[in-house]
Amino acid sequence: MNENSSRSPHGERVVDLSGTEMGHPPFTRLHMIAIMQDDGHINFEILNTMSPVTRLFSAAAVASVATAAVLDLGIIVDNGYKVVEFGIGTPAKTFRLLFDTGSSSSWATDSQCLAKGNCNNGSGYDRSGYSINASTSGHYTGESAVIPYLGGDVAGPTVAEKWTIGNFTWDQSFIAANESNWAALAADGFMGLGFSSIIDGGANTVVETLMAENRLDAAKFGIYYGTEAKNTSGVPGDGVLTIGGSREHEYIEGDLVTIPITRVDGTYDVWRSTILKVNGTRTTSNGSVIETETDFDQARVVFDTGAGSITLPTKQNLAVYESIGMNYTKILKGEHIPLCSEFNSSWSFKFTFGDYRYPQTIEIPGDQLARPGFAYRDDACWPPFEDGAQSGFVLIGTPLLRNFYTVWDYGSAANETVIGRFDPTLSFGYLKNKTAAAK
């Protein structure tokens, strides 16, 4: 997959308009965090390779949350893929995992899978390969999983292991994949950030595992994608995934726009809500402003960090393009190649989510949707939206998410283990100019 491929929250991969697969797998290394314990006192030391910070707490001061933490993982970008790094096993071996709010269980390719050619790798990234025999802390749980994707599966046994971030260690279950068709993924696997109602093979999510162990300051995570769009040369850039807290005060201006997350069949599965409308606004050559509303009939919308596109239902997709003066049919037929010079601040989209009583709106200008490389041309940009085959369903991936600071809040106590007691929300913050995403 290249930076223009995507996967849905249920694992389907979307093909882009030029026939190449489109996705935004992540690459990441932690930029900070070491947590240390001493007899009689519990000391928390958080190290940031960009700007070191240290926090110390006495055991008495934090008796109720003695091992709670805020974990910051620096984001590595490689060919558009954005990932974070974890140590897995004893001794710990580094694995890069794509952080994905559209799935829940984590998985990493097994060393034997790589050796036997069952996990083909055409990404250019040298995958680590997990070996249970090389670790003194891993054991099979007796469960296994087959996770289906369009065109291939990820399959393997479930392993319970030690995971580490700096000196912070916990017990985590994941799938040691002995079969995978993610050949182009420039990572060792996925870290699921969905909810535990849809885990595979009994491999619980990282966040809910840490919540159950009372290891986090807060039941939430925050994402700042950073200013690098393509590559960070194998090291973390300025993007950061924060687990157990959020850092909107560092990255945003103004207030957060907060959207309620909705249930499916009585429970939470992925980060989904309701989309009410999209308003396209454009400024004409004579300076007049035209705003056109497209009604989405309260369609379902999923916010997916593992998707590299924004997908709209066919009817609304055509109308949304027309609202800014573009013709999607002509783009499909090759009669119009959208140039990057067309992506400017003269037009914008307003997305309205939630319900009609308390609508929540975010706006994104055209220049922030520019992604060069369409039709294999540096001067042409990818169309902002794709046509989705499913009526009443919208998928919002990184082309929109990367332009905001996002806070994914479970709306519960930091140690809550019952999904029914969650009251999750997703908040969007407008980035300060110096932290705005690169084009």
Query: Cα 59 vs. chain centroid, distance in angstroms?
Result: 34
Kindly report the backbone phi and psi dihedral angles of residue 284, in degrees, each rounded to the nearest multiple of 5, phi listed first. Answer: -80, 175
Query: Cα 158 vs. chain centroid, distance in angstroms?
Result: 23
Domain containing 225 — which CATH number? Answer: 2.40.70.10
Residue 57 resides in a domain: yes
Q: Does the structure show a pLDDT above 90 at 151? A: no
Residue 228 resides in a domain: yes
What are 72-98's pLDDT values in tens digits? 999 999 878 899 999 999 999 999 999
Residue finishing a domain among 195, 218, 248: 248
Burial class (CB in 10 A: 0-12, 13-18, 19+), 168: buried
pLDDT at 203: 98
How many Cα atoms are found within 13 Å in the side-chain-facing hemisphere of 331?
Answer: 24
pTM score? 0.85
* 261 and 216 both lie in a single domain: no
* 260 and 240 both lie in a single domain: no
Residue 364 resides in a domain: yes
Distance, CA of 33 to CA of 69 (rounded, Å): 9
* 283 and 416 both lie in a single domain: yes
* 280 and 187 both lie in a single domain: no
Query: Span 220-249, mean pLDDT?
Result: 95
Residue 1 resides in a domain: no
* 243 and 266 both lie in a single domain: no
* 56 and 69 both lie in a single domain: yes
* 287 and 323 both lie in a single domain: yes
Residue finishing a domain among 188, 219, 248: 248
* 269 and 202 both lie in a single domain: no
Q: Does the structure show a pLDDT above 90 at 326? A: yes
Residue 97 resides in a domain: yes
* 200 and 66 both lie in a single domain: yes
Query: Span 88-113, mean pLDDT?
Result: 96
* 39 and 135 both lie in a single domain: yes
Query: How many domains does the chain contain in total?
Result: 2
**What is the span of the domain harbouring residue 217?**
6-248
Residue 136 resides in a domain: yes
Percentage of the chain exceeding pLDDT 70: 83
* 272 and 421 both lie in a single domain: yes
* 294 and 380 both lie in a single domain: yes
Residue finishing a domain among 212, 228, 248: 248
pLDDT at 407: 99
Residue whose token pair is 């332009």 = 403
pLDDT category at 389 given cuts 50, 70, 90 is confident
Closest by Cα among 113, 134, 302 to 189? 113
